Amino acid sequence: MILPQEIIRNKRDGRVLSNTDIQGFVTGLVDGSFNDAQVGAMAMAIVQQGMNVDETVALTLQMMDSGDVLAWPELDGPIVDKHSTGGVGDKVSFMLAAIVAANGAYVPMISGRGLGHTGGTVDKLESISGFNVQPTTAQFKQIVKDVGMAIIGQTSNIAPADKRLYSIRDITATVESVPLITASILSKKLSAGLNALVMDVKVGNGAMMQDMQASKELAQSIVNVANGAGVKTQAIITDMNQVLGNTAGNALEIKETLDYLSGEYLDPRLHEVVNALACAMLIDANIATDTARATQLVKEVLNNGKAAEVFAKMIAQMGGPSDLFDAPDKYMPTANMITDIKAPKTGVISAMQTRDIGMAVVTMGGGRLSNEQEIDHSVGFDQITPVGGKVTVGDVIARVHANSAESLAVAKGSYLNSVHISDEMNEFNPVVYETIAENNKA
């Protein structure tokens, strides 16, 4: 047995950790033989010295194996998933999973809750009356088999080593480490027993990674490590310099999802992200041979209603209503106060401080600043005018949904301060920047 302090010393001094060292560290996370001080010291050593691809693969696999790892011998098709690094208004998972499942793949998606300015997939689903984000493993597997998709929250049996490591990283200033972020994401995602994974790495003022270099570094790390762990993976870097879609807030984003899948309203930027990720998943799952065919398949299941049917079936099988598409307001909370936010001047919306808009939702109660905090699913913004939109003074550029006059006033002020209106706009950020594939190990 290697003592914890010797493993810490090895990494502190810049040595490459052996598989035995990494196994000892992960075992210590689970059985407590690494105390909190030692875990924090180890995390800091990794932040300072980094890890190579082989080390990060070993850490990912050891943390994955610290809990349940699903297998799907009962399924007759490819098992694929997607993960996003998060942002404001990011409801892509719902549309994407339904589209891919409607085309014959299986999507067992284990998702997280929101923290800070980013919304959580699980929180959004919990805005639907009766929806159970914590089914048993047997129920989860049965729903995936029957429906083609299921979106659940992380259970205590999935990658428990990561759960402890993250809780200590969060309070020791050791979150910002590409190897640790990579291992944290992938240890949970790969435990779902995937054949393929597509990463949506956001970049911009509403993203975890705000500059392109950092986003590329994280994307490349995830792609190299996941492929090294035996799961076909690519990453697509997409824009988060404005709210994605025209809503931000839990129930409001589910409503936009229903509108998208039913064909009632399709935000063009949101659809471009969904389509890019869906095409990648369909190609990696060997359902489509190229982007042109994959795009056609996406269009077909949206137009013929199959994607909406899959999503509706998942909602019903996971405890929600069977008629959510027909009567969303009956099953999701609505705010007491809804007020227009009007353009203070004529011009074009040239920029958004997206993180500030996300924090305005949190301030109204729609997000959490600690894991224990209860959230208000009804609050947020909708009818958001995108960057590039031309406005005249007095035009509605968004609506705020709040449950008190005070929070409404604060949110309205925050939104107006977050949106910049200029006389003209010459440059637009692309929605999809580039795709990152595996490269040689470094």
Q: Active-site residues: which are they?
A: 81-84, 121, 169, 184, 188-189
**In terms of C-beta density within 10 A (0-12 exposed, 13-18 middle, 19 or more buried), how is residue 432 classed?**
middle
162 contacts 183 by C-beta, under 8 angstroms: yes
Tell me the two tokens of residue 271. Answer: 């659809």
Element (H, E) at 338: strand 337-342
| Cβ count near 16 (within 10 Å) | 12
23: phi then psi, degrees, rounded to nearest 5 = -60, -40
For residue 291, give Cα distances in angstroms to 15, 276, 288, 313, 348.
43, 9, 8, 28, 34
Going 272 to 273 to 277 to 282, the CA torsion angle's sign is: negative
Tell me the two tokens of residue 17. Answer: 């950790």
Taking alpha carbons only, the member of 206, 263, 277, 270 closest to residue 240 is: 206
| Cβ count near 77 (within 10 Å) | 16
Strand partners, 349: 421
